[in-house]
Amino acid sequence: MKTALQAFSALTLAVSLAHTGLAHAQEHQHDTFNLLEQEKANTQIYNAYFPNADIGRKAAISFHGQLLESHYPKGYLVMELNDEEMQKLQVFGFTFAPATEFITKRNQILSKLQTQMLSAQQKSLSMAADVSANNVSISGIPGYSCYATVEETFAVAADMASSKPNLAQWLDIGDSWEKGAGVGGHDLRVLKLTNRSKTGTKPKLFINSAIHAREYTTAALTLDFARQLVDGYGVDADATWILDHHEVHILLMTNPDGRKKAETGLSWRKNANQNYCGAGSNSRGADLNRNFTFGWNSTNGQGSSGSQCNDTYRGPSAGSEPEIKALESYVRSLWPDRRGSGKNDAAPSDTSGIHLDVHSYSELVLWPWGDTSQAAPNGTALQTLGRKFAFFNNYRPQQSIGLYPTDGTSDGISYGELGVPSYTFELGTEFFQSCSTYNNTIKPNNLPALLYAAKVVRTPYITPGGPDISNLSLSNGGSTGVPAGTAVTLSGSASDARFNNSNGTESTQAISAVEYYINQAPWDSGASPTALLPSDGSFNSVSEGFSGTLNTAGLSEGKYLVYVRARDASGTWGAVSASFLVIDNDATQPPANYCSASSGSANYEWIGRVQVGSFNNSSGAATYSDFTGQNISLVRGSNSLTLTPQFSSGAYRQGWRVWIDLNKDGDFDDSGEAVYTSSGTSTSAVSGSFNIASSVASGATRMRVAMRYNATPASPCGSYNYGEVEDYTVVIP
């Protein structure tokens, strides 16, 4: 059920008063009341039973505008359908029944909303004297604190540009329909992120979100991504080099007028253009993702609707909507046209740039074409990058054609017209996704996919075919501070196999080389690499550990970026990952007497993820990983813990134990330092907690996590047959 409807309350009126004044707020409230009444009257909602899950997923693509809920395990979708749409689905074996349960729950919630609104209206006059933008605390869409409103999103972005002008600009690129018509509305704004002190031509990643108003998760994810980059500059090595060398442009609210309608709980998809389907209708507006100029109505009515009240109404002409005019104009300013005019003209392999259009829902990664089943001329490279994105978010990667084609969509301007690779992410499983699902699943799984896009945007048709670097670490406190001349070991993992192969298999090759650069990116003029060595003596597998000693002699005090990349046997260099090396001649070295520990093999299982409180680290196959360069902030009292195994093929039972050197004496042998032990063995993740007593001294110390095949690790030292050991730095307040 669209539970966002349950969240609307009198606070909605207070927010409106604070921003628009009493008279306008009352008018807006009356309009919303009537729109909710219209939605209650809609009974063209059905349980659409599909013959198999593959047909169901394709229907979710072609009939995305009609989709209300998905119940794949139960074999049906909840959809709003007219007779023509039902006939189209019947051809593919769909059967239908009235969605009585959905309609009943919806109407109960809508009636409750209206009652709350009437009650709030009685208080509006007294509230008017007391409500202002300064004394109303607004924290997201009511009931969904993780999703910022349009105004809050704009305020956060504006604050980034104000507080960190060297990294962020908040650009006005046009007006929404309502603003252009003088009936309220919003600016269309892009958040441009890059280190402006680093000049020169930079490759550009463009992301737009919330083009469909009711898709709550989308703008939240892109805003969180912006925060990750800006807040991470100078703290996180990857965020730092990305902003130094690349540009990220984010149109956070592509459809702000429609989004304001959806914030009231309405299932609003389109923009708010009052020229279509009646000025007071909740079916008014155009579907902005059917209004792009390239390929507009190219399927002669199959891929979009010519009916003004339909959720996929394409508008009266190509690019008719001001929101699309602004977006297309901005995109054309980012990239040159590198694709010919023919449908089968491929863009050159060295084309730079990526366009991501972030939607919800269906857990898909999609690429062109969507208006034909024919593969795009750059289809092989698009598929490779799509499978790489899907490795991170675990979504299904596929070409964006469903049961029927779609036309006039966002990939037209970027890929169709300019040749820049374009993708659609379909986040999650609901339009009004719960905050717990967003925070625990959608956000942590998709931020790495967005970060990867920012990494490979220089050559997106080439780089994703190469190996990825993970588990980078520097020994002897190299990431926190060492005197010049200290021997610092750089280690990590390289893998050419990080693809989602749930829909076809991507070819892989053995690792052939790994190299690093200090304070120079590989593409910098005169950049000089240093080779790193395979941990097992030879580079001959698709996944390899590597290490090498950094030469820190003669380095002046300061923070250095260490860039690392790997090449596979086909000669393709993969994405760069980085770590900080800090030279501090006053630094003291941590104790070096911790015992060694590892498994004998990571061919079958290894530690896939360690989560402690809000800390979250995913990693690849290794027998031992040194993550002491990553600090985990603990709390006094109970600390939550989740440990996740990962397997190369079949799942095997694992036992776990965690030690913390609580007295900082360089070992884990003292009483109480085994802080967590799993209850037996399991093939799945284990969760629990451990306690930090008030008597434990503050400061940094080491934590060791051990996972062992078919047994609980008995000792923090030594080796055993299968599994992995990982070390971390924990900070006790």
- For residue 596, the domain's CATH number is 2.60.40.1930
Flag whether pLDDT at 385 surpasses 60.
yes
Residue 264 included in any domain: yes
Give the whole-angstrom CA distance, residue 620 versus residue 493.
Answer: 7
Answer whether 296's CB lies under 8 Å from 408's CB: yes
Answer whether 169's CB lies under 8 Å from 161's CB: yes
Tens digits of residue pLDDT in 408-432: 999 999 999 999 999 999 999 989 9
Do 155 and 108 lie in one domain? The reply is: no
Flag whether pLDDT at 530 surpasses 50.
yes
Report pLDDT for 19. 41
Report pLDDT for 124. 43
Q: Name the domain boundary from 403, 423, 456.
A: 456
Give the whole-angstrom CA distance, residue 722 versus residue 707.
Answer: 8
Answer whether 688's CB lies under 8 Å from 664's CB: no
Do 264 and 240 lie in one domain? The reply is: yes
**Longest distance between any two alpha carbons in the chain, whole Å:** 78
Do 602 and 533 lie in one domain? The reply is: no
DSSP state of 65: G
Query: Average pLDDT over the chain, rounded to whole?
Result: 89
Handedness of CA 287, 292, 295, 296 (dihedral sign): positive
The CATH number that applies at residue 478 is 2.60.40.650
Do 548 and 658 lie in one domain? The reply is: no
Do 452 and 491 lie in one domain? The reply is: no
Flag whether pLDDT at 378 surpasses 60.
yes
Q: Give the pLDDT mean for 176-191.
A: 98
Q: How far is CA 547 from CA 290, 537, 594, 609, in A?
A: 50, 11, 19, 22
pTM of the predicted model as reported, rounded to 2 decimal places: 0.75
H helices of 584-626, in order, are none
Question: To the nearest 5 percent, what fractions of the chain are helix, strand and coil?
Answer: 30, 30, 45
Taking Cα atoms as reference points, which of 281, 261, 259, 271 lies closest to residue 180?
271
Do 542 and 621 lie in one domain? The reply is: no
Residue 27 included in any domain: yes
- The count of structural domains within the chain is 4
Flag whether pLDDT at 658 surpasses 50.
yes
Give the whole-angstrom CA distance, residue 354 versus residue 454.
Answer: 8
Report pLDDT for 23. 44
Do 313 and 259 lie in one domain? The reply is: yes
Q: Burial, 537: exposed, middle or buried (Cβ in 10 Å; 0-12, 13-18, 19+)?
A: exposed
Q: Give the pLDDT mean for 225-244.
A: 97
Flag whether pLDDT at 130 surpasses 90.
no
Task: Choose the most confident range, by mean pLDDT, from 78-87, 494-503, 664-673.
Answer: 494-503
For residue 542, give its domain range.
467-589
Structure tokens at 633: 């902030």
Residue 145 included in any domain: no
Give the whole-angstrom CA distance, residue 671 versus residue 536.
Answer: 36
Tens digits of residue pLDDT in 70-81: 888 899 999 999
Do 242 and 104 lie in one domain? The reply is: no
Q: Give the pLDDT mean for 723-731.
A: 93
Report pLDDT for 13. 33
Do 516 and 448 lie in one domain? The reply is: no
Tens digits of residue pLDDT in 467-486: 999 999 998 778 888 888 88
Q: Name the domain boundary from 97, 128, 159.
A: 128
Do 321 and 419 lie in one domain? The reply is: yes
Give the whole-angstrom CA distance, residue 377 versus residue 393.
Answer: 26
Q: Give the pLDDT mean for 361-368.
A: 95
Flag whether pLDDT at 696 surpasses 60.
yes
Residue 290, classed as helix, strand or coil, is helix
> Which residue shows structure tokens 């209708």?
281
Residue 649 included in any domain: yes
Residue 135 included in any domain: no
Query: CA-based angle 205:206:212, to the nearest 5?
Result: 145
| Lowest mean pLDDT across 52-56, 63-67, 396-400, 536-540 | 63-67
* Residue 173: alpha-carbon gap to chain centroid: 24
Q: Give the pLDDT mean for 98-127.
A: 66
- Which residue numbers are catalytic? 426
Answer whether 247's CB lies under 8 Å from 226's CB: no
Report helix angle 443-456 to 379-393, nearest 10.
140
Residue 138 included in any domain: no
Task: Give percent of the chain with pLDDT exceeding 90.
Answer: 74
The CATH number that applies at residue 235 is 3.40.630.10
Do 686 and 700 lie in one domain? The reply is: yes
Do 217 and 357 lie in one domain? The reply is: yes
Report pLDDT for 3. 35
The full length of the chain comes to: 733
Residue 137 included in any domain: no
Report pLDDT for 170. 98
Q: How confident is the model at residue 695 (pLDDT cuts 50, 70, 90)?
A: confident
Q: Name the domain boundary from 456, 484, 509.
A: 456
